[in-house]
Every structure is written in C-alpha cells, then in structure tokens.
C-alpha cells in the first residue's frame, strides 16, 4: 500500500481504515431505515448473515472502499465465535422472553443486546484494520460470494432489496 505524503489515503485515494465510532454511528442511522432493517433481519433469520456485516458492506460502499469475498470471509470469521456463542443465542433468548416480560424488562434486554451488537461491531472494525481496501469493486457481490449464495440464488425480492440497500450486486 502506497500512502500519499501528508494524507491518510493510499495512492489510489482510498482511506485504508475505518473508525469504530463512525461505523457505529452509521449503523445506528441506517437501522432507522425500515426497508434496510427488514432486509437485515430477513437475511439474519433465513440466511444466517450477521446484520453488522450487511451494515459494513453499505458503510464501506458509502466511503468508496471496496473489499473482495476473501476479505469479507476474514471479517466474518473474526466475529463468528462471538456471534455464534453469545450474540445469536442472546437474540433468540430475547425473542423467546418477549411475550413473558413486561415492557420495561424487555427494553432492558434490548439494551443488553445493543451492548453485544457494539462488541460485534468492534470485532468487525478490528478485522477490517488488517485489510487494504480497493478503490473499485462491489461490496454487495463480495458479501454474497463470501457466503456462497451464488450457488443457491437469493429469492428475487430479497436480491432486489439488497441491490437497493447496497447498490448493484450483479446478481
């Protein structure tokens, strides 16, 4: 990677890293988009894709940073143990508990889940720091390829929603 003198950018104009606060703030703002939230939850429930990886793909695209499928695999592997052992089971517990808890207790569970989401985001950003982004690419296609969805295509409506959220993914 060749850095431009006096700059945080590489010679091709790409910033080589992202900061946790920026990613968290972006994720929070995007989560208010009902279409994106529904897509992320559907991908999570039906295809086991961590929502934070989808948010990362969108975030990187918005910053003009692109990674390939191997990079997405590396990032996913960095947060997978935590997601599998802690975050996903907690999400399931929260869903099961919802009908048994008063609203205030359920809200507390959501607050704990948000703490766990932040840790997942921290792991993702940490893994990304070891990656050199490209100036061009397709984060949506790379994310899909990392999860081998080209072998079993996404339903058309889901692919269309993904295209709207990330941009063209050349499905």
Q: pLDDT tens track of the chain, all 171 residues?
A: 333 344 445 545 566 579 999 999 999 999 998 888 999 999 888 888 899 999 999 999 999 999 999 999 999 999 999 999 999 999 999 999 999 999 999 999 999 999 999 999 999 999 999 899 999 998 988 988 888 755 566 787 887 788 777 864 443
104 within some domain = yes
- The parent domain of residue 47 ranges over 20-166
Whole-number pLDDT of residue 152: 64
Give the per-residue pLDDT at 149: 59
Identify the DSSP state of 8.
S
The DSSP symbol for 159 reads H
Q: Please report whether residue 4 resides in a domain.
A: no
Cα–Cα distances in Å, from 37 out to 63, 98, 105?
A: 20, 19, 23
Rounded to 5°, angle at Cα 43 from 77 and 112: 70
CA distance linking residue 114 with residue 102, whole number of Å: 19
Whole-number pLDDT of residue 48: 84
Residue 45 domain flag = yes
Find out whether 49 and 147 touch, Cβ atoms under 8 Å.
Answer: yes
Q: Per the structure, how many domains does the chain have?
A: 1
Q: What is the pLDDT of residue 144?
A: 84
Within-domain flag for 27: yes
Q: Is residue 133 part of a domain?
A: yes
């Amino acid at each position: 990677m060749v850095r431009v003198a006096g700059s945080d950018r590489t010679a091709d104009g790409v910033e080589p890293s992202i900061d946790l606060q920026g990613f968290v703030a972006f994720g929070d703002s995007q989560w208010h988009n009902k279409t994106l939230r529904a897509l992320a939850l559907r991908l999570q429930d039906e295809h086991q894709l961590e929502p934070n990886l989808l948010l990362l793909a969108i975030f990187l695209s918005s910053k003009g940073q692109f990674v390939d499928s191997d990079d997405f695999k590396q990032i996913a592997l960095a947060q997978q143990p935590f997601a599998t052992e802690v975050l996903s089971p907690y999400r399931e517990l929260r869903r099961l508990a919802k009908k048994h808890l008063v609203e205030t207790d359920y809200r507390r569970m959501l607050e704990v889940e948000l703490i766990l989401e932040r840790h997942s985001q921290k792991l993702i950003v940490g893994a990304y720091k070891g990656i050199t982004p490209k100036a061009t690419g397709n984060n949506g296609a790379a994310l899909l390829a990392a999860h081998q969805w080209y072998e079993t295509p996404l339903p058309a409506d889901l692919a269309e929603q993904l295209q709207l959220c990330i941009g063209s993914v050349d499905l």
